[in-house]
Amino acid sequence: MKRFTLIFIPYIWLAALFLVPFLIVVKISLSDTALAIPPYKPALDLAQGWAGLMAFLGDLDFENFTFLAEDDLYWKAYLSSLKIATISTILTLLIGYPIAYSMTRAAEEWRPTLLMLIILPFWTSFLIRVYSWMGILGQEGLLNQLLLWLHVISEPLKIMNTPTAVYIGIVYTYLPFLVLPIYAALDKLDDNLLEAAEDLGCSRFKAFWLVTIPLSMNGIVAGCFLVFIPALGEFVIPSLLGGSQTLMIGKVLWEEFFSNRDWPVASAVAVILLLILIIPIILFQRNQQKQRESEG
Amino acid sequence: MAQNGNKQVFSPWTDPSAKPLIQFKNVTKKFGEFVAIDDLSIDIFEREFFALLGPSGCGKTTLMRMLAGFETPTTGTILLSGQDISPIPPNKRAVNMMFQSYALFPHLSIWDNIAFGLRREGGSKDAIAARVEDMLRLTRLTKFARRKPHQISGGQRQRVALARSLAKAPKLLLLDEPLGALDKKLRQDTQFELMDIQEKTGTTFVIVTHDQEEAMTVASRVAVMDEGRMIQVDTPDRIYEAPNSVYVADFIGEVNIIQGSASQSGDTVDITFAEGQPTIRGTTDKKFANGEKIAFAIRPEKVSISAEKPDDMENALQGKILDIAYLGNISTYHVELPNGQIIKSQIANTRRISRRIFTWEDTVWVSFTDTAGILLKV
Ligand SMILES: Nc1ncnc2c1ncn2[C@@H]1O[C@H](COP(=O)(O)OP(=O)(O)OP(=O)(O)O)[C@@H](O)[C@H]1O
Ligand SMILES: [Mg+2]
Residues B227 and B353 in one domain: no
Does ligand 1 lie within 6 Å of residue B37's CB atom? no
Q: What is the pLDDT of residues B100-141, one digit of tens each?
A: 899 999 999 999 999 999 999 888 999 999 999 999 998 889
Residues B281 and B317 in one domain: yes
Of B207, B232, B247, the residue at which a domain comes to its end is B247
Count of the separate structural domains present in chain B = 2
* pLDDT of the residue at A128: 93
DSSP assignment of B292-320 equals -EEEEEE-GGG-EEESSPPSS-SEEEEEE
pLDDT band of residue B182 (cuts 50, 70, 90) is confident
Find, among A135, A195, A194, the residue nearest to A165 by Cα. Answer: A135
Residues B223 and B279 in one domain: no
User: Has residue A175 been placed in a domain?
Assistant: yes
- H or E element, residue B51: strand B49-53
Q: What is the pTM of this model?
A: 0.82
CA of B38 from ligand 1 middle (Å) equals 13
User: Has residue B19 been placed in a domain?
Assistant: yes
CB contacts of A203 in chain B (<8 Å) are 89, 91
CA of A153 from ligand 1 middle (Å) equals 57
- Phi, psi values for residue B59, rounded to 5°: 110, 15
Which range of residues forms the domain containing residue A130? 67-295
Distance of CA A110 to the CA centre of its chain: 30
Integer angstrom CA distances of residue B240 from B250, B252, B299: 10, 7, 9
- H or E element, residue A40: strand A40-41
Count of the separate structural domains present in chain A = 1
pLDDT score of B16 more than 90? no
CATH number at residue B47: 3.40.50.300
CA-to-CA distance for A23 and A265, rounded, in angstroms? 15
User: Has residue B18 been placed in a domain?
Assistant: yes
- Identify whether the C-beta of residue B115 lies closer than 8 Å to the C-beta of residue B168: no
* pLDDT of the residue at B196: 84
pLDDT-flagged residues of chain A (< 70): 1-2, 295-296
Residues B227 and B309 in one domain: no
Residues B222 and B315 in one domain: no
CA-to-CA distance for B139 and B159, rounded, in angstroms? 6
Nearest CB partner across the interface for A195, out of B103, B106, B120: B103
Residues B183 and B322 in one domain: no
DSSP assignment of B238-282 equals HHHHS-SSHHHHHHSS--EEEEEEEEEETTEEEEE-STTSPPEEE
Residues B259 and B234 in one domain: no
Determine which of A108, A188, A190, A199 to mutate to test the interface with B (most B C-beta atoms within 10 Å).
Answer: A199
The secondary structure of residue B177, as a DSSP letter, is: S
Average pLDDT over residues B158-162: 92
User: Has residue B52 been placed in a domain?
Assistant: yes
pLDDT score of B193 more than 70? yes
pLDDT score of B354 more than 70? no
CATH number at residue B324: 2.40.50.100
Instruction: Give the percent of chain B with pLDDT over 70.
Output: 97
pLDDT score of B2 more than 50? no
Average pLDDT over residues B271-297: 90
pLDDT score of B255 more than 90? yes
Average pLDDT, chain B: 90
Residues B258 and B243 in one domain: no
CA-to-CA distance for A270 and A268, rounded, in angstroms? 5
User: Has residue B150 been placed in a domain?
Assistant: no
Find, among B258, B332, B347, the residue nearest to B298 by Cα. Answer: B258
Residues 6+ apart with CB under 8 A from B170: B94, B95, B96, B203
Residues B193 and B321 in one domain: no
Which range of residues forms the domain containing residue B65? 2-94+170-247
- Identify whether the C-beta of residue B73 lies closer than 8 Å to the C-beta of residue B36: no
User: Has residue B317 been placed in a domain?
Assistant: yes
* Coil/strand/helix, residue B225: strand
pLDDT band of residue B58 (cuts 50, 70, 90) is very high
CATH number at residue A250: 1.10.3720.10
Integer angstrom CA distances of residue B243 from A203, B231, B299, B322, B372: 44, 10, 11, 28, 13
Q: Do B101 and A206 touch (CB under 8 A)?
A: no
User: Has residue A232 been placed in a domain?
Assistant: yes
CA of B151 from ligand 1 middle (Å) equals 29
Is B164 in CB contact (< 8 Å) with chain A?
yes
User: Has residue A20 been placed in a domain?
Assistant: no
* pLDDT of the residue at A1: 61
CB contacts of B168 in chain A (<8 Å) are 200-201
